[in-house]
């Protein structure tokens, strides 16, 4: 279990999965400029990452390709699949596996990480915490699976780690 502490400020998470149907860019533009032929996801990537329209489209295409490969790998691994994510710094797909032998069976170009729990187990534990919502201490801000760390992350107010540990222990 991983506890994050700090002030709860609320925030927005934006997923750049290309699922909103970003239109392909046809002209090179300066970073952060508004190009008339870009969709909202491309525009968001341009603004958030200081990218040109072409760079943003390449990023989104890479993410869609990684998601497609991830789905194929998930299907081939079956119960050995432990989740996947795109490494932010490199854009590489990382596939978590719960069985080291299964990792050897994956195609070239797939980075693997052998993990203890895997996404299904993390989701089950997170769902257990969801069912205890009535008993959540005020100091516990949120929780959810983190495939990258192979843990369920519980975010608490600063200094409230004891309350979080007690909450998790009783779940």
**Averaged pLDDT, 146-159:** 93
Which whole-number Å values give the CA distances from 93 to 45, 128, 147, in the listed order? 19, 29, 13
Domains along the chain?
33-115 (3.30.300.50), 120-170 (3.30.300.50)
pLDDT at 26 exceeding the cut of 70:
no
Q: Alpha-carbon dihedral of residues 22, 28, 30, 36, nearest 10 degrees?
A: -50
User: What's the predicted TM-score (pTM) here?
Assistant: 0.66
Which percentage of the chain shows pLDDT scores above 70? Answer: 78
pLDDT of residue 59: 86
Range 146-158 burial, b when 16+ CB lie within 10 A, else e: bbbebbbbbbbbe
pLDDT of residue 11: 28
**Averaged pLDDT, 141-145:** 93
pLDDT of residue 37: 61
pLDDT of residue 1: 52
CA distance 154 to 78: 28
Confidence of residue 27 (pLDDT cuts 50, 70, 90): very low
- Please identify which residue in the block is written with the tokens 């295409």: 61
DSSP 105: T
**Averaged pLDDT, 55-77:** 89
Mean pLDDT over the full length of the chain: 78
- Please identify which residue in the block is written with the tokens 């299964």: 102
- Most confident segment among 22-31, 146-155, 157-166: 146-155
Confidence of residue 108 (pLDDT cuts 50, 70, 90): confident
| Strand 81-86 to 93-97 pairing | antiparallel
């Amino acid at each position: 279990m991983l506890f994050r502490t700090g002030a709860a400020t609320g925030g927005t998470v934006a997923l750049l999965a290309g699922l909103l149907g970003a239109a392909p860019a046809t002209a090179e533009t300066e970073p952060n400029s508004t190009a008339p032929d870009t969709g909202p996801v491309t525009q968001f990537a341009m603004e958030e990452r200081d990218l040109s329209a072409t760079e943003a489209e390449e990023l989104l295409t890479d993410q869609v390709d990684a998601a497609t490969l991830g789905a194929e790998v998930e299907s081939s691994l079956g119960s050995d699949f432990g989740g996947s994510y795109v490494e932010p710094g490199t854009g590489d797909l990382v596939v978590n596996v719960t069985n080291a032998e299964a990792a050897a069976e994956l195609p070239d170009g797939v980075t693997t990480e052998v993990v203890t729990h895997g996404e299904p187990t993390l989701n089950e534990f997170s769902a257990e915490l969801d069912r205890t919502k009535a008993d959540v201490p005020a100091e516990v801000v949120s929780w959810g699976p983190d495939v990258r760390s192979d843990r369920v992350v519980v975010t608490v107010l600063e200094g409230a780690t004891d309350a979080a540990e007690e909450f998790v222990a009783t779940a």
